[in-house]
Amino acid sequence: MAGRKPVLTVTLSRAADNELDRIYRYTLGEHGLGAADRHMALLQAKMASLSTDYNKGKSVMGWPDLRYLLMKKRNSGDGHIAVYRIDEASATVEVWFIFHTKQDWENKL
């Protein structure tokens, strides 16, 4: 039987945590409490999935240590992107940034 991939701990940088707060407040103001809670639960679940499926994100061109994960409710429409780094030595997935899909996020790194 092949060895299993280790389960890593997902951590958020201050920038990523602040962006989640901003996303929540925006969604709350525009769409109400229920929508804000559902959207936050979706984003948190997608990022939590990186603890076991950390290689599912794509490589960021020009940044060999970084990967990104597209986080969307459905295949069409807007969503968010989590930019992260896998640190197997400390058994963590470090989410550094969260961007909206409409942002020119690659030039903001």
Separation between Cα atoms, residue 30 and residue 52, nearest integer Å: 33
pTM: 0.91
**Does 67 map to a domain?**
yes
Determine the average pLDDT of the residues in 24-37: 97
Q: Count how many domains the chain has.
A: 1
pLDDT number for residue 77: 83
pLDDT value for 73: 86
* Dihedral over Cα of 2, 54, 27, 16: its sign: positive
**Residue 10 pLDDT > 50:** yes
pLDDT band at 5 (very low <50, low <70, confident <90, very high): confident
Domain that holds residue 36: 9-102
Counting residues of the chain whose pLDDT is more than 70, the rounded percentage is: 97
Is residue 73, in this structure, part of any structural domain at all? yes
pLDDT for 75 equals 79
Residue 4 lies in a domain: no
